[in-house]
Structure 1
Amino acid sequence: MDEAKNQARTGMTPEETELWIELMEKGLDIQNAVLESKVVLDKLPGELRMDGINLLYCRLTRCRAQLLGLVGEEERYRNDV
């Protein structure tokens, strides 16, 4: 009965809820990695700090592009269905 209440409340099956939680945890992992990177950046000498920031920015930009690609794939999938 709890599963039925949860699905009625969230609109998700228990399996979908588990996957959603996993996705949220992955997002938090990314956020924490950025915060931890600041600690590392603060330890770098000044001349390397900007290079480190640029490297992280490039990586995050690549992640953003991949996420936008997923959004595009999802939109194409929805249009095909």
Structure 2
Amino acid sequence: MTRTYNIIGILSCLISFIIMALPMIWYAASALWFFPGAIMILLLSLVIVFCYIKTKNQLHLLLLVLNIIILLFFSLPLLLS
């Protein structure tokens, strides 16, 4: 069961990274993309928190910190505007 939670956590972090990279790749992304993207990254962070509560694995703490950094980089244009 722990392996399943590890895979779920890693996939959640990868999806967050892809969501963060989409506006950078897609040059014409408007500010309207950042709000749903930030909500999706927050929900994926909650999935990682749930996985950590279930397993108490240090990998999930690392993924959570990485996901928070992704969220900060993603929402930086919103914070600066």
For the aligned pair, the TM-score class normalised by the smaller chain equals 0.3 to 0.5
User: Greater relative contact order: 1 or 2 (C-alpha under 8 angstroms, separation 6 or more)?
Assistant: 2
TM-score (norm 2): 0.41
